[in-house]
Each structure stands twice: as structure tokens, then as C-alpha cells.
Amino acid sequence: DQQVKQNSPSLSVQEGRISILNCDYTNSMFDYFLWYKKYPAEGPTFLISISSIKDKNEDGRFTVFLNKSAKHLSLHIVPSQPGDSAVYFCAAISRYNFNKFYFGSGTKLNVKP
């Protein structure tokens, strides 16, 4: 049973607009979350993370929001660029084992020029 879920397999957005990628989790022991970005034929690369003691973390065009009560996090990309087209994976870590990542199934983002 997947403990981290990304329910949207794909998302299409116009260049310059906002992209919002969502992620839900079931395990209340998760207290650190990461987003990874993956281009075709490459491995995933780290994008941004957030600790459960925060509800927002921002890095340039990328912002991650965490809603602990809803067990939900989202990644906002503003403004979206064609180079952002990739698969985005959400991952969660438990305080009891920060080596064991639980990944979602990914959301494929397509940013149209």
C-alpha cells in the first residue's frame, strides 16, 4: 500500500502560468518531504524540501507548501517555463529512519510555449 500518493499522472500548463503539483501521504510519522525532478533518460535530481515544522519553503520560482492536518503538500512553480517539463516525484521521510524514502508515482508536467 502506497503511503505517498500523487493522484495526477500528468499536468499541462501554459508557459508563464502557475504549475501546482499535489502530493498526499498517509503516515503521520513522516516529518520531512522532498520534491525530485526527472528528465527522460536521466536520474531524479533534488529540487526542494520542507520540514514538518514549517508550512512553506521557497526557492526562486519553486515553493512547497505543507498542510500537516490534511497530510497534503504541493509544489508551486511560478512562472512555469518549458524547461520545467519533466516528471516530478514527491518523497517523504520518517523521523525514525531518514534513509528510507517513500516516493509517489510521479506527475508528468508539460509546459507549453
Partner 1 sequence: DAGVIQSPRHEVTEMGQEVTLRCKPISGHDYLFWYRQTMMRGLELLIYFNNNVPIDDSGMPEDRFSAKMPNASFSTLKIQPSEPRDSAVYFCASSSTQTRGSYEQYFGPGTRLTVT
C-alpha dihedral (8, 12, 15, 21), degrees to nearest 10: 0
* 12 or 51: CB nearest partner 1: 51
Q: Which of 14, 18, 4 is nearest to 90 (CA)?
A: 4
Q: Which of 4, 5, 9 is nearest to 108 (CA)?
A: 9
Closest approach, Cβ 43 to partner 1, in A, equals 3
Binding mask 4-43 for partner 1 (x = CB under 8 A): --x-------------------------x-x-x----xxx
Binding mask 47-86 for partner 1 (x = CB under 8 A): --x-------------------------------------
**81 to 110, contacts with partner 1 by CB under 8 A?**
89, 91, 93, 97-106
* 5 or 61: CB nearest partner 1: 5
- Amino acid code (one letter) for 36: Y
Q: Tell me the torsion sign for CA atoms 32, 11, 26, 2.
A: negative
Cα 65-66-72 angle, rounded to 5 deg: 115
Binding site for partner 1 (CB under 8 A): 2, 6, 32, 34, 36, 41-46, 49, 89, 91, 93, 97-106
